[in-house]
A and B are shown apart, each in its own frame.
Chain A
Amino acid sequence: MRFNAFFRALSCGALALFGGSVLAQPADTELIQRGEYLARAADCIACHVTEGGKPYAGGLPIKMPFGTLYSTNITPDKETGIGEWSDDDFVRAMQKGVGKDGKHYYPAFPYTSYTLMPREDILAIKAYLFSLEPVNQPNPENDIGFPFNQRWGMALWNFFFLDDERFEPDPEQSPEWNRGAYLVEGPGHCGECHTPRNLFQARSGSKNLAGSTIQGWNAWNITGDEQSGIGGWPDDTLERYLATGLAEGYSVAGGPMAEVVNHSLRHLTPEDIRAMAVYLRSVPAQDAEVKRPQPRELAAEAPTQTPHPLGQKLFADACVSCHLWDGNGRQSPYASLRGLRTVHDPEGLNLVQIILQGDVLHGPDGDHAMPAFDRHFTDSEVAAVSNFVLNHFAGLDATLNEEQIRERREEH
């Protein structure tokens, strides 16, 4: 068999790719496409898939301060997914955080944001999910101790913290602003990470989008504050950031935010991106501890003096060929360190996480990846290279130590 036609068809049955068109009625196509767009805007995939797993089949462990939750299978499988759910079941889950079985969800599932979505949008998402190939994959048991395993408690929580209301446009504002507000506060659920939480794990209403820490990462202040937030960013920069994860001289999406860009934001229309930017700029400014670093003039060569010689050695070893001594980034603007809050946070939260875990941004001109150095560096080496970076690029007296790094490794 020389020229092998036999091996050309390698697919194994109907797959997700064809599933939509095969299973759906033609009349639904538009609805399904709208649902797909909204599912992306809502970044459902971020939680409802595991690495190497089937999309929307769930099973992703989500570490919470009180235990580990697992995302659920939301493919239309009748046994293990949501195949038997009615429209009302699905809407109730999205708006009230209550499953078909009547059990309350934990707010790791961002129904407190999704609740702003109108029924039509939610049903569009459902139509999209139902167009997918069902995956039979049972949901893992959550691993949560008392009293947090008492789900009725969530009813009480909801009573205090869930505003079971749909988004109402503000007639005072432009349609663009309203669209942005809807996307940011509703499906985009930006506040779930970027708004600080109170003792009860509820978002603090008075500090909307003022920044928070989540799973060992800093979700930066994205209010209109000039220094602490995004207020000082030039007009089109914020849009470029949302669409590509890169705002040269201001920010590069890393870690969970890189995933948001990859899965969600980069797929949105330029109009929606602009609308989100318009809204974000209008969010009342809040101050935060970590600000953008002042621009520093750095030489293209290695510094001759540093309080962190080991850190400088390691930076020369593994980092400088992409980031450069002046932080300008070589090969890819994604490697630029200039102006990043990440290098201006004395605790180096995101810095340490990105060194340990790395990330990938799917840019318009291909992937931009930072390798994960968790196996490369010992704890003291991570501390040393982080201290060097904080000192060299932001002039901080950085004092991260081995123990702190050990703890942070355990956080993820």
Chain B
Amino acid sequence: MLTLSINGNDLQVDVPDDMPLLWVLRDVLGLTGTKYGCGIAQCGACTVHLDGQAVRSCVLPASSAAGKQVVTIEAIGETDIGREVQAAWLEDEVVQCGYCQSGQIMAAAALLAQNPAPDDVAIDQSLAGNLCRCCTYTRIRSAIKRIGQA
């Protein structure tokens, strides 16, 4: 039995030791907003926050999340930054298929928490690990900058 703090709730899960947090979230807890894209930390679709840091849940053994605060896309809107990012995403019509966007939003929120007004270089450096096959990059950049300027 593993106790995880997910979106502010302490939850008990009974899963294999090597099971990545991603699959605990999706298949055990039903939090499917966090996506699977590659399983090797190369696409960012699985990005969640672990104690406020953006992490790739597909390569994070669930056991390493014990004792830390996990926040997922389902609850990021409860934070000020998360809410702003979601609003900017709609305002700038960032989304296409939407599959990568949970990860993009989590990465953007982590960046903005650290750097409230990132420039192009900072945005590129922080979000380069988040692939978007629909290539919504132009709008991701403008949405983040919109928040930075607000």
* Residues in chain A within 8 A of chain B (CB atoms): 301-302, 313, 316-318, 320-322, 330-332, 365-367, 369, 371
Contact = CB atoms under 8 A, between A and B. Distances in A.
A316 B17 contact: no
Instruction: Please classify how large the interface on chain B is, using the bins under 10, 10 to 19, 20 to 34, 35 or more.
Output: 20 to 34
A331 B128 contact: no
Contacts, number: 55
Given A331-B64, A366-B18, A371-B40, A320 B129 contact: yes
Contacts of A316: 124-126, 128-129
A367 B20 CA distance: 11
Interface in B49-79: 53-56, 59-61, 63-64
B17 A369 contact: no
A191 to B, nearest CB: 34
A53 to B, nearest CB: 24
B96 interface: no
Given A316-B124, A321-B129, A322-B41, A365 B61 contact: yes
B17 A331 contact: no
A221 B73 CA distance: 47
A366 B18 CA distance: 5
B55 A330 contact: yes
**Interface SS of chain B:** mixed
B8 to A, nearest CB: 22
B56 A322 contact: yes
Contacts of A331: 41, 55-56, 59-60, 64
21 contacts: A313-B128, A316-B125, A316-B126, A316-B128, A318-B42, A320-B128, A321-B44, A321-B54, A321-B129, A322-B56, A331-B41, A331-B56, A331-B59, A331-B60, A331-B64, A332-B61, A332-B64, A365-B64, A366-B17, A367-B18, A369-B59
A142 B115 CA distance: 59
Given A318-B42, A322-B41, A332-B61, 4 more contacts: A316-B125, A320-B128, A321-B41, A332-B60
A331 B20 CA distance: 10
A371 B42 CA distance: 9
A361 to B, nearest CB: 13
B68 to A, nearest CB: 12
B114 interface: yes
Contacts of A318: 42, 128-129
Contacts of A367: 18
A330 B60 CA distance: 8
B114 A301 contact: yes
Residue among A321, A332, A371 facing the most chain B CB atoms (10 A cut-off): A321
